[in-house]
Amino acid sequence: MSRWLKRGVGAILALLALFLIGSNLWVWSAGWGRLASKPSEVPAGCVMVVLGTDEFVGATGERTGTFGPRIDAALELARSGRVKFIVTSGTDVHARVMAEQLRAAGVTCPIVEDPYGWRTLDSVLRAKAYYPKEHIVFVSQGWHCVRALWLADHEALSATAYPAAFGEGWRPVMGSARDFFAKPKALIDRYALGNPLMAPMPANEGNVPHR
């Protein structure tokens, strides 16, 4: 390999590293001062959006480590009386199972299932389409919440977050590592791809009240 080729490859790798690190710092900055540590820090009358995650690892029966803490955080916030209603967002399974567990745990406020929040961008765009004038409070792990807040900011959606506990086991660690690359992808989606929805349903259609 020639000296100039080596320099070219080195420059490309350096730019890639700069993009990855810079993107993460930019997205993380969206969470500064906006991750509530107790329900009283959340605006009264808000709409809670619980971002989806699997309860179990495939068909193994092993718990993912992220699901339980999100449900616990959602319950804590719902019981504070500061939530107007709850949206469980993810796949149809995520939305239904989270809604069922919240209702079974005694949540009495209305719950809406969003079965087309197939990724965080979809959840944010659908929250904007359905509730453009509401204050949204995202519930997920902190490393995930900051990405939702960054996306919400760029959609002019009023939002804060109520982060769940990190969780136990290797799945939360893998999730946070995956999010290191999802944060740069959020920039690519916005500035290069035009924020495409993954789900085939328009952002303002498909939500259903949980019975």
Domain boundary assignment for the chain? 3-209
Residue 115 is encoded by which pair of tokens?
A: 């079965």
Closest to 136 measured CA to CA, from 198, 51, 47, 3: 47
Q: According to the model, what pLDDT value does residue 1 have?
A: 60
What value does the mean pLDDT of the chain take? 95
Instruction: Say if CB 170 and CB 66 are below 8 A apart.
Output: no
88-125 pLDDT, tens digit per residue, is 999 999 999 999 999 999 999 999 999 999 999 999 99
**Residue 175 · residue 143 · CB < 8 Å:** yes
Output the 3-class SS for 146-157.
Answer: HHHHHHHHCCCC
Please compute the mean of the pLDDT values over residues 145-169 and round it to a whole number. 96
pLDDT in tens, 38-84: 999 999 999 999 999 999 987 788 889 999 999 999 999 999 999 99
**Higher-confidence position of 7 and 142:** 142
Tracing tokens 């001062």 back to the chain, one arrives at: 33
Other Cβ atoms within 10 Å of 99 Cβ, number: 23
Burial class (CB in 10 A: 0-12, 13-18, 19+), 96: middle
